[in-house]
Amino acid sequence: MPIRIVLGAVLSVAFGWSASVAFAADEKPADPKVAPKVTYDEHIQPIFRAACFTCHNQNEAKSDLALDSYARTMAGGAGGECVIAGDVESSRLYALVAHLETPKMPPNQDKIAEAQLNLIKQWIVGGALENSGSKAKIKPKVSLELATTAGNKPSGPPAMPEKFRRQPFVATSRAGASTAMAASPWAPLVAVAGQKQIMLHNTDTGELLTILAYPEGVPHILKFSRDGSVLLAGGGRGGSSGKVVLYNVKSGERITEVGDELDVVLAADVSSDLSRVALGGPKKMVRVFSVADGSLEYEMKKHTDWVTAIEFSPDGILLATADRSAGLMIWESEGGREYQNLTGHTAAITDVSWRSDSNLLASVSEDGSLRLWEMENGKQVKTWAANAGGSQSVEFSPNGTLVTAGRDKLCKVWNIDGKALATCEAMPDMVLDAVLAYDSKRVIAGDWTGEGRIFDAATGKTVGKLLLNPLPLDQMVIYATQQAAEAEKVAQAAAADAEAAKKGAEAAGAAAQAAVKKAADAAAEVKRLEALRPQLDKDLPVKQAALKAAQQKAGEVRRALTDAKGTESRAALTVKQRTDALATSAAGVKKLEEEIAKLTADKKDAALPAVQKRLENTKAEAAQRTAQIADAAKALADAQAKVKQLTTDSAAADQLVAKANADLEGHRKAIVDAGNALRGLQPQLKPLQEAIAKVNAAKAAADKVAADKAAVAKTAGDAAAGTRQAAQRAAADKAEFDKSNNAQASAAR
């Protein structure tokens, strides 16, 4: 049975969902620390019985997969193991029934209930136990951490072209499909296949640096050597011829040619020590040649379909090869002995890539999945859906991230756990190849229409384009000038965007400072109020005593005033009485004087003495009363003065009472206000503290956006400067080319 008929194809015709199983569908999985064991016999077999026994049983095991017993389930099918105890992510069965990968199971139906998926997941995580008496046998997971390695980094400056030819060998009206692409591991350099030629571009600026001739036909595979000094190109003419050529990157000269195939070379690589070249293609055979003399060292005939991918491990020990029927083989590079046969993909494998430490191999396929393989046991350690409809390329960057491209017109950057770090803007058609630049900051990709783009690996935004159908130099001058103008616009827009992001970050910083101040002010106010309340309570009796004392003093003054007013009234009465008596005495004096005058006139001298005596007595009485009036008047004045003083004192005492009362009421209000303020502020402290975390997070996010925008702006500015220089170089190249042609024409004459 062909290898490509794997679990995905197996399950796509099964899973006739008809009956419910005998457990609570809504039951949530319990804490694994205390939950009972989830076993095949008790929990999982009922799910399989209702879902898939029709097609996957010992009598009718589609693609060799039967799920009607524990042993047959764990054995897997034609595609290998489908349940990996303890590792849900590597268990293909769970990925399909959970609709994490295609084909989704059951086919053309909704996925099974979440409670049942949870049981299957718990079963796998718990060690895929057969029954309650079983013990979990979980293999330790392979570490996905990138091992520290110096790799094949050159001791000196990385290789860059030192000789330039920008006049194309073949000029076309439009670019053809991007059949091959490779990025130097140490330099800002990318090689792109064209018709009978290979273009080398600067990945920082997008500038075309030089063009290498490949008269053998169309290159279908490009690979830089691990130290970046040599470029391998493999291709040819379909059904006719194929060859691999090695170029010196610095000089652009051919180092050697390897192979003389009867069909096009679709896959090839050169070992890290530059001693061997492996190639393959439609002839289903992998051949390994010596670079030194071009002799065939050995060949492998195990592939049953076109060989589509080949790559030596960075340490030079292993060789990975893949084919159109999902075959993936690992060989010892020394002698070609088979090391591992890796099964899992369900369609043609389109590309493979080794991580720099040689511990992991990545593979992608037309089934759309990316799979990671460890080499000690040849086990799959990770898989995820990379590109809908099918993946066309995969590549590890030096820092361990990956980039994939595919039929969904997208390039995606991933971390080792399968998290998408960036999804690049869609291209016009399916992306045939995508690579990461030497510093992992840029993605370079080419699609079916022949469009080449440079993306920012962090944001997925387009930051430049590659000219994949190089123009003759006279047209290149015009094109480069236009590109420089466009790059300048992009740079200006990026600078404006960065400035706006900077202002946004500053606003976020101000908001963070305001939030911190608000929280600090609230905390300080709560602290002040908490300290104030006891003091206010302590001072309340003092205020109350002060009011009472003021009230007592005012009462005393009022009583004294009342008494003084009584004394004043009595004094006034005495003055009046004595004044009246004086008036009576005065009247008596006058009457006696008139009587004396009459007696004198009447010459009644005998009666005069008695009357005169009475007059003297009356005058003495008047004099005495006058003195008494003076005493009474003085007493009245004294009483009036005392009343006036006490009236003033009473008003002052009343003011003191009013002040003490107002002070007490104000104190009581202060106690109430402090209590209300404290009760109002205390619940706000936690939200204010939480707000600090939020605004600080917003500030950090805004700072990151600003930093990213600034980096993009710098990149765009650098690109604009590079395109301006490229336009200048194009003009200089044109002048030099014209001068050379004129010289040759003159010599010919």
Distance of CA 97 to the CA centre of its chain: 31
Cβ–Cβ < 8 Å for 355, 89: no
> How far apart, in whole angstroms, are the C-alpha atoms of residue 536 and residue 526?
15
> How far apart, in whole angstroms, are the C-alpha atoms of residue 373 and residue 320?
11
Both tokens of residue 438?
């030497």
Both tokens of residue 384?
């995820």
> How far apart, in whole angstroms, are the C-alpha atoms of residue 305 and residue 303?
6
- Residue 201 sits at φ, ψ, to 5 deg, of -115, 150
Report in angstroms the alpha-carbon separations of 306 from 3, 153, 309, 388, 570: 14, 33, 9, 23, 140
pLDDT of residue 19: 31
* Buried b or exposed e, range 152-164, using 16+ CB within 10 angstroms: beeeeebbbbeee
Distance of CA 321 to the CA centre of its chain: 39
How many Cβ atoms are within 10 Å of 561's Cβ, its own excluded? 21
Three-class SS state of 595:
helix
Cβ–Cβ < 8 Å for 492, 480: no
Amino acid present at 318: L
Residue ranges for the chain with pLDDT beneath 50: 1-34
* Buried b or exposed e, range 104-131, using 16+ CB within 10 angstroms: bbbeeeebbeeebbebbbbbbbbbbbbe
Element (H, E) at 488: helix 473-601
List domains and CATH numbers for the chain.
7-125 (no CATH), 181-470 (2.130.10.10), 502-745 (1.10.287.620)
Q: Cis (ω within 30 of 0) for the bond into 103?
A: yes
Q: State the angle between helix axes of 608-748 and 473-601 in degrees (0 to 180), rounded to the nearest 10.
A: 170
Closest listed residue to residue 184, CA positions, set 416, 393, 435: 435
> How far apart, in whole angstroms, are the C-alpha atoms of residue 458 and residue 602?
150
pLDDT of residue 694: 86
Closest listed residue to residue 210, CA positions, set 174, 170, 161: 161
> How far apart, in whole angstroms, are the C-alpha atoms of residue 81 and residue 72?
10
Counting beta carbons within 10 angstroms of the beta carbon of residue 168, is it exposed (0 to 12), middle (13 to 18) or buried (19 or more)? buried
Report DSSP state, residue 267: E
Query: How do 380-385 and 369-374 pair as beta strands?
Result: antiparallel
Cβ–Cβ < 8 Å for 610, 596: no
Element (H, E) at 432: strand 431-436
Over residues 499-547, the pLDDT tens digits come to 998 999 899 899 889 889 988 988 898 898 889 889 989 999 998 999 9
CA-based R_g, the chain, Å = 54
Closest listed residue to residue 182, CA positions, set 456, 436, 447, 415: 436
> How far apart, in whole angstroms, are the C-alpha atoms of residue 328 and residue 350?
11
User: What is the CA angle 682-683-688, rounded to 5?
Assistant: 95
Over residues 569-611, the pLDDT tens digits come to 998 999 999 899 889 989 998 998 898 898 888 888 888 898 8
> How far apart, in whole angstroms, are the C-alpha atoms of residue 340 and residue 351?
17
Place of tokens 């159109």: 324
